[in-house]
């Protein structure tokens, strides 16, 4: 059964265990204003305890833009103190995406610039259509990325490439974005949502406790030293080995049959 939830700037469709979040401001290329940022945070907080949601896909309304960035009208008159609060508010919204213990896929369907690129970076995986263009052009406006771009981009593509992209402010097309590891794959625009759903469904077929703990192990491990990350992995491995899914999965493997996971 499909459920559609509408905010002022988002449309959320829940179907087959997948929540599809569409940034819905097509007249301004889905630019992020303060209200949209707040709605993103609210939506992702709601997904945390919603057992009907197994995976999330984020995309933009229309065929031109995933999200063209932050609303510059809300930035131009900020003083330093208010700008710090502005950035912190956006970072909290991006963290609500990044920290969700369910897989989040960005379906990048056009321009993903500035804050829009930062939304995609906060997602766990990214699939782009061939017309997609991505970048962090803030320096051309006398700014720097403020919603986590300087941090997440470097962790994804490496320090050198991140410095090049941020300091030059240049856009990259979908093919180049894929080559540098900014996105996972490129598809035709008409195939984008189906590809994102296919990826989500392939993950949803696995043991949900195992996928949640694996996701947490990877995400937390990137924030600490290797030794600390290995300790996190060992802890997660121990936790997953205490589940019924682990018993059923390993038994089914040895008995050469498909497991019947109970999601426990």
**Which pLDDT score, from 0 to 100, does residue 263 have?**
56
Q: Which of 13, 118, 188, 255 is catalytic?
A: 118
Radius of gyration of the chain (CA): 19
35 classed as catalytic: no
Q: What are the C-alpha distances in Å from 68 to residues 18, 41, 88?
A: 25, 18, 20
Instruction: Please state the domain extents for the chain.
Output: 3-204, 208-254
Q: Which of 138, 164, 216, 260 is catalytic?
A: 138
For residue 113, how many other CB atoms are within 10 A of its CB? 24
Asked if residues 121 and 148 have their Cβ atoms less than 8 Å apart, the reply is: yes
**Which pLDDT score, from 0 to 100, does residue 264 have?**
45
118 classed as catalytic: yes
137: three-class secondary structure by DSSP: coil
Fold observed for domain 3-204: 2-enoyl-CoA Hydratase; Chain A, domain 1 (3.90.226)
CB-count burial class (<10 Å; 0-12, 13-18, 19+) for 180 = middle
Task: Read off the pTM.
Answer: 0.94
**Which pLDDT score, from 0 to 100, does residue 119 have?**
98
**Which pLDDT score, from 0 to 100, does residue 150 have?**
97
Asked if residues 212 and 239 have their Cβ atoms less than 8 Å apart, the reply is: no
Full pLDDT tens readout for the chain, 264 residues: 567 777 999 999 999 999 999 999 999 999 999 999 999 999 999 999 999 999 999 999 998 999 999 888 889 899 999 999 999 999 999 999 999 999 999 999 999 999 999 999 999 999 999 999 999 999 999 999 999 999 999 999 999 999 999 999 999 999 999 999 999 999 999 999 999 999 999 999 998 899 999 999 999 999 999 999 999 999 999 999 999 999 989 998 999 998 888 754
C-alpha span between 39 and 47 (Å, rounded): 12
Fold observed for domain 208-254: Lyase 2-enoyl-coa Hydratase; Chain  A, domain 2 (1.10.12)
């Amino acid at each position: 059964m499909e459920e559609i939830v509408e905010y002022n700037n988002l449309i959320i469709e829940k179907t087959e265990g997948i929540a599809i979040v569409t940034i819905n401001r097509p007249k301004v290329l889905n630019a992020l204003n303060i209200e949209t940022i707040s709605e993103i945070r609210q939506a992702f907080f709601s997904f945390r305890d919603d057992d009907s949601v197994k995976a999330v896909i984020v995309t933009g309304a229309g065929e031109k833009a995933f999200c063209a960035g932050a609303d510059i009208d809300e930035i131009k008159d900020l003083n330093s103190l208010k700008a710090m609060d502005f950035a912190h508010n956006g970072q909290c919204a991006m963290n609500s995406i990044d920290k969700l213990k369910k897989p989040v896929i960005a379906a990048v369907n056009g321009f993903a610039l500035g804050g829009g690129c930062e939304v995609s970076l906060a997602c766990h995986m990214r699939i782009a259509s061939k017309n997609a263009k991505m970048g962090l052009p803030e320096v051309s406006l006398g700014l720097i990325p403020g919603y986590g771009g300087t941090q997440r981009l470097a962790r994804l593509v490496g320090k050198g490439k991140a410095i090049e992209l941020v300091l030059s402010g240049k856009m990259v097309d979908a093919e180049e974005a894929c080559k540098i590891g900014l996105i996972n794959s490129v598809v035709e625009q008409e195939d984008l949502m189906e590809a994102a759903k296919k990826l989500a469904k392939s993950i949803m077929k696995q043991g949900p406790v195992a996928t949640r703990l694996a996701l947490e192990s990877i995400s937390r491990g990137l924030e600490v030293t290797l030794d600390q990350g290995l300790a996190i992995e060992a802890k997660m491995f121990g936790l997953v080995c205490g589940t019924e899914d682990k018993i059923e999965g390993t038994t089914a493997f040895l008995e050469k049959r498909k497991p019947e996971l109970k999601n426990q």
